[in-house]
């Protein structure tokens, strides 16, 4: 069996939970797992970000944090909208969809979780996998945002595929949101 440090670096994730370490190291005894993790933290191979969440090194990807802290969770809202060029404001905070609404600070990263109902969280439509994390595509992030914030201002809606939005909007099962979607589309398209 490979050395535990080699196993850490074989993982594509730069942020690992205790559960990830248990699977990676095939360790079923929680005491042994905690002792091994504590040893690698003391050696500087792992960084303890918060209880049960570790980074492989100081060069970890903060975008992996939301799903490591709360599952299910995916990046959306301002984070995905900014990536798609739909809003221009830069936010240091990561915004994620989750089962609860809360704000956390881990290391240098603030994460704002916004609550969506389970049927939306577990529906993968419009969500892109980026390896160690998932992020809403432009249409899904747009819909998540107008679902929670009816009067949100968007800087640039040219990246939106309105037909895709119309199809995805059905999963929200919300007539008012569909009306809002039409208002945004009409205002943008003319």
pLDDT at residue 27, as a whole number? 93
| pLDDT value of residue 1 | 64
Q: Please choose, from the candidates 22, 24, 23, the residue with its C-alpha nearest in 3D space to the C-alpha of residue 9.
A: 24
Flag whether pLDDT at 178 surpasses 80. yes
pLDDT more than 70, % of the chain: 99
Task: Grade residue 4 by pLDDT with cuts at 50, 70 and 90.
Answer: confident
Contacts of 71 (CB under 8 A, 6+ apart): none
Token code pair at residue 125: 């439509």
Region of 126 on the Ramachandran plot (φ > 0 left; ψ -120 to 50 alpha; else beta):
left
- Helices and strands, number each (H, E), in the chain: 9, 9
**Confidence class of residue 190 from pLDDT cuts 50, 70 and 90?**
low
Q: Has residue 15 got a pLDDT over 70?
A: yes
- Give the Cα separation of 94 and 65 in Å (integer): 9
pTM, entire model: 0.92
Q: What is the pLDDT of residue 6?
A: 80
Record the tokens describing residue 73, joined without a space: 């969770």
Q: What is the pLDDT of residues 47-82, one digit of tens each?
A: 999 999 999 887 899 999 999 999 999 999 999 999
Segment 28-37 shows an average pLDDT of 95
Domains present along the chain, CATH in parentheses: 4-60 (1.10.10), 69-189 (no CATH)
Mean pLDDT value across residues 148-152: 95
Which residues, 6+ apart, have CB-to-CB distance to 16 below 8 Å? 8, 24, 46, 53, 54, 55, 56, 68
Q: How confident is the model at residue 44 (pLDDT cuts 50, 70, 90)?
A: very high
Average pLDDT, the chain: 94
């Amino acid at each position: 069996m490979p050395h535990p440090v080699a196993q850490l670096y074989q993982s594509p994730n730069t942020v690992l939970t205790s559960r990830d370490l248990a699977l990676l190291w095939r360790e079923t005894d929680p005491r042994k797992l905690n002792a091994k993790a504590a040893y690698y933290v003391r050696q500087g191979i792992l960084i303890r970000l918060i209880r049960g969440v570790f980074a492989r090194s100081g060069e970890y990807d903060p975008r992996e944090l939301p799903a490591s802290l709360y599952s299910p969770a995916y990046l959306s809202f301002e984070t995905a909208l900014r990536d798609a060029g739909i809003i221009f404001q830069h936010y240091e905070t990561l915004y994620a969809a989750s089962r609860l609404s809360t704000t956390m600070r881990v290391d240098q990263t603030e994460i704002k979780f916004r609550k969506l109902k389970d049927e939306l969280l577990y529906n993968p439509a419009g969500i892109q996998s980026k390896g160690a994390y998932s992020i809403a595509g432009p249409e899904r992030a747009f819909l998540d945002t107008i679902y929670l914030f009816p009067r949100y201002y968007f800087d640039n809606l040219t990246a939106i595929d309105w037909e895709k939005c119309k199809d995805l909007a059905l999963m929200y099962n919300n007539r008012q949101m569909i009306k809002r979607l039409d208002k945004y589309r009409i205002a943008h398209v003319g």
